[in-house]
Amino acid sequence: MRPKINFSNRKAIAGAIILACAIALVLYLPTIVQQTNPVVCTIDGVCQHEKQLNLLTQMIPVFIFVGLIIGVIVFFLMTSKIEDKKKDAKKIANVMLKFLNPDERKLVDLLIENNGKVLQAELTRLPGMSKVKSHRVIQKLIDRGVIEKETLGKTNIVRFSKEIKEGLL
């Protein structure tokens, strides 16, 4: 039975291969330079060691440029996956918002704007939201497991539940 290899994440595999090649180049470059080191010091009055040193000195900008290019390629290959996760989270949030009534949607939007945590007193300042109405909306969302309420003195802190927070933020 042959093992199956999943190639669905080609960008990550390509980034890992490029990174491995860059590391191998850095590790084996001193060995290559040492093997090409001349044995005889002068040929026709020109010091071969100095000639090789001048060549390496001139190649430093090329090495820096190649390293930067490899870094940029790996960066772009790896960040596309992060952007995909953010897009997926926004899609999930939009789907969840469609199941909420307008008052619940206002509350969830305010929580998203404030990184998933807001004082209950701030909810009463929303347009069309009284203290009683905000309390009822909060209680409905608590019953569904969307938010949690924590007492802080005379007011409460309303925040997303852990599962919702991980999915949205």
For residue 119, the one-letter residue type is L
Question: What CA dihedral angle connects 127, 131, 133 and 134, to 10 degrees?
Answer: 80
pLDDT of residue 7: 57
DSSP string, the chain: -PPP---S-HHHHHHHHHHHHHHHHHHHHHHHHHHT--SSSEETTEEHHHHHHHHHHHHHHHHHHHHHHHHHHHHHHHHHHHHHHHHHHHHHHHHHHHTS-HHHHHHHHHHHHTTTEEEHHHHTTSTT--HHHHHHHHHHHHHHTSEEEEEETTEEEEEE-HHHHHHH-
Q: Walk along the chain (169 residues) and give the pLDDT tens digit of each residue.
A: 565 555 566 777 777 788 888 888 888 877 777 776 666 777 777 787 777 778 778 888 888 898 888 888 878 777 766 677 767 767 776 777 778 888 888 888 888 888 889 998 888 888 888 889 988 999 999 998 888 999 888 888 999 888 777 766 6
| Dist. CA 87–CA 163, nearest whole Å | 18
| Dist. CA 101–CA 60, nearest whole Å | 63
